[in-house]
Amino acid sequence: MKLKCQTAMNLPFLPRIFPRSNADSQADFERSLLRQEAKIGGQLFGPIPKGHQRQFFCLDEHTWIWHEEWMENGQRRVVTTRYDVRPNGVIKSQDGQANQRLSKAEARNLFKAAEIYQQRVDSAYQRMLQAG
């Protein structure tokens, strides 16, 4: 099972949308695209409850991030899970806890989520290209 991850930073059509004339502006634009990808990814798992923020995105070629924030009993709660895709499996780290290897079921769920994410992000970029 291989998780393909194509981020805004390595999209072949990015120079057509935003020429590389100004490195700072391009970096800002790439961060904006990554925030949009994270928003798209956060919606993969159903409606986001009021007062919650949820993001799921491909950070780089080998790293997926799940991040969620919400208020509970007047306190801000934050959970960030990092999935490092390695040749021999996927390692999960969450909020400073010990790293753990994903179970087969969890790896299948991550793979499915990554496939849907990539389809939706690709679709969003295609709409951008057609509009431009």
- Dump pLDDT digits (tens) for 65-102: 999 999 999 999 999 999 999 988 899 999 889 999 99
Domain annotation covers residue 60: yes
Domain annotation covers residue 2: no
Give the predicted TM-score (pTM) of the model: 0.79
Q: Which of 99, 127, 98 is nearest to 40 (CA)?
A: 127
Contacts of 92 (CB under 8 A, 6+ apart): 81, 82, 83, 84, 99, 100, 101, 102, 106
pLDDT in the model for residue 99: 95
User: Hey, which residues does 86 pair with through a beta bridge?
Assistant: 89
- Dump pLDDT digits (tens) for 29-52: 888 888 999 999 999 988 888 889
Domain annotation covers residue 3: no
Domain annotation covers residue 1: no
Domain annotation covers residue 53: yes
- The residue range of the domain holding 36 is 8-131
Domain annotation covers residue 82: yes
Distance CA 110, CA 64 (A): 9
